[in-house]
Amino acid sequence: MTRTVYVNGDYLPEDEAKVSIFDRSFLMADGVYEVTSVLGGKLIDFDGHLARLERSLGELDMQKPEAFDDLLDIHRELVRRNELVDGMIYLQVSRGSAGDRDFVFPDPEEVKPTLVLFTQSKPGLADSPAAKTGIKVISIEDIRWGRRDIKTVQLLYPSMGKMMAKKAGCDDAWMVEDGFVTEGTSNNAYIVKGSKIITRQLSNDILHGITRAAVLRFAREAQMEVEERSFTIDEAKEADEGFVTSASAFVLPVVEIDGVALNGGSPGPVAARLREIYLDESLKSAI
């Protein structure tokens, strides 16, 4: 089945979809994105992703695409047309194409944003083997820019981080700044000490994960103790458990950091419980 994608108002077969070579996301990484997971044909945490998209656009003084208010319908239409059961919907908005290369932002009256959405099918997304085995991470320096709270398409360094992890025989990298863990290359990072869940406080240093917000809310509702503060990579290596959260991974246990095993190298009970609660609750409110 050919994938149907969405580009600026049109649903098209993927090989007919086109964006200008002058698009600013292509030339300047002048774009923002969201990834929403789909389970059983339904969208998880859609409102959160839409709210963060609006915030990212505002922080970069980028216009909302004309179809902003139709985004839920567009997501659903893509699910329908692609018969998507489990997977993700990727959405990107860029500042558009001014028909040339220029550092100066184009006049928003003349140049409209580019809006692209496509589906990624991942059958059995919620039953990933990594949830049972856990993942191994390495630590790398965080050399990204200072506005990591904006979900921009500048993903070269996170991509390099994944490659560094792969080369080291691991699955992902935790980025570290001044000794403190910021986040994973494409997820938020947590440790567990005793029964306490510790994750970095929100600021411009990390992405304000939609899954993070939901997981912390569910944890508190389940009377689990949560502490939002920075932790060092050394503290992480001595923790009882580690885990990461993201829209595509949900909650994934971390069983090794820089070759140091956590919880004897097996997924820990807190991560396992949070994953279960997150999936149960999110499915209940999926739309």
Q: In this chain, which stretch among 69-77, 192-200, 207-215, 255-263 interacts with ligand PDD, using CB under 6 A?
A: 207-215
Residue 164 CB neighbour total at 10 angstroms: 15
Q: Say whether residue 245 binds ligand PDD (CB under 6 A).
A: yes
Q: Give yes or no for a contact between 31 and 104, defined as CB atoms under 8 angstroms apart.
A: no
Active-site pick, 18, 136, 151, 166 = 151
Q: Which is nearer to ligand PDD, 123 or 264 (CB)?
A: 123
Q: Which of residues 116-175 bind ligand PDD (CB under 6 A)?
A: none
Burial class (CB in 10 A: 0-12, 13-18, 19+), 135: buried
Q: Per CB under 6 A, does 205 bind ligand PDD?
A: no
Does 186 participate in binding ligand PDD (rule CB under 6 A)?
Answer: yes
167 tagged catalytic: no
Structure tokens at 159: 């991509």
Pairing of strands 172-177, 135-141: parallel
Closer of 34 and 256 to ligand PDD (Cβ) = 34
Considering only residues 18 to 37 of the shown chain, the ones binding ligand PDD according to CB under 6 A are 35
Q: 114, 119, 211, 282: which one contacts ligand PDD (CB under 6 A)?
A: 211
Q: According to CB under 6 A, which one of 94, 248, 263, 282 is a site residue for ligand PDD?
A: 248
Residues marked active site are found at 151
